[in-house]
Copies of this chain bind each other. A is one copy, B any other.
Amino acid sequence: MTLEAYLEDRRVEVDRALDGLLPRPEGPAARLYEAMRYAVFGGGKRLRPALAIAVYESLGGSSKAILAPAAALEMVHTYSLVHDDLPAMDDDDLRRGRPTVHRAFGDAEAILAGDALLTLAFEVLATHPREAAAAARADAVALVARRAGASGMVGGQTADLEAERKPAELAALQWIHAHKTGALLAASAELGAIHAGAETADREAFSRFGHALGLAFQIADDLLDRTASAAVLGKTPGKDERAGKATYPALLGLTASRREAERLASVARAEIPASVGDRGILDALARYAVERPS
């Protein structure tokens, strides 16, 4: 199976899980549920769920069991995008070719839809897989919360805001990427390992795998923003550049950025534990990070 076919299969499964987990748009808060669904079903690649599923399957699990926790990762990712797009933050009107949630539903509704998605993610992580040991579910909540919160993703978003007010430096950019992007990818890979019953050493190796993979994807995204067309991006290309946003391409140039993304993909591959039976998909994910069609 090619990686593209694998990702497409998993995407369909994850979307079905998300549909079952999100509230139906009815009752006095129907508009909130509509906004949550609009945000989630906006055409994402479902990279974080795919990563959790791929790790889980590489350790012998079957994707069905891990779908709900994997879908929770997408809820966390989606909430962060909804809040990031708000006028008070990046002030984006378009995401993946459609109006952002606050443009379609209003600012207050976008704030609340983000809040509700984040909260639902933790409810799902605490209750799924239903047959998993409670310790694994509690571990999953703690892991995702730590990586998504003040010392992880939200910390990275804050540092990113601060960085816009002062000259960019590579060390600051690395810290931002590691927290804003790397942390949740690290949690995604480790979540798959937790539910597969992996030992601590392997959990940590998968965490580093996801982290390096996330940084490689981030640089690849920033490269795409420089080189791809609006049709491919679903948003106006070159926006980061015009906004004077610190990115790898802006600080290091295109060639050195490509080289760094490739290095990170190699780091990721080297972290895959020897205990993994079939490393085909994990290897392919690391290659995909730097060889995406653009």
Which residues of A are interface residues toward B (Cβ below 8 A)? 23, 27-29, 31-33, 36, 79, 83, 86-89, 106-109, 111-112, 114-116, 118-120, 122-123, 125-127, 133-135, 137-139, 141-142, 145-146, 148-151, 154-159, 161-162, 172, 175-176, 179
Contacts and interface: CB of A to CB of B under 8 A. Distances in A.
A29 B159 contact: yes
Nearest to A171: B28
- Copies per assembly: 2
Contacts of A88: 86-88, 106-108, 111
A230 to B, nearest CB: 26
Nearest to A120: B149
A157 B150 CA distance: 24
Contact of A29 (B112, B133, B158): B158
Contacts of A134: 133-135, 137-139
Contact of A127 (B116, B122, B125, B138): B138
A253 B102 CA distance: 37
A39 B23 CA distance: 30
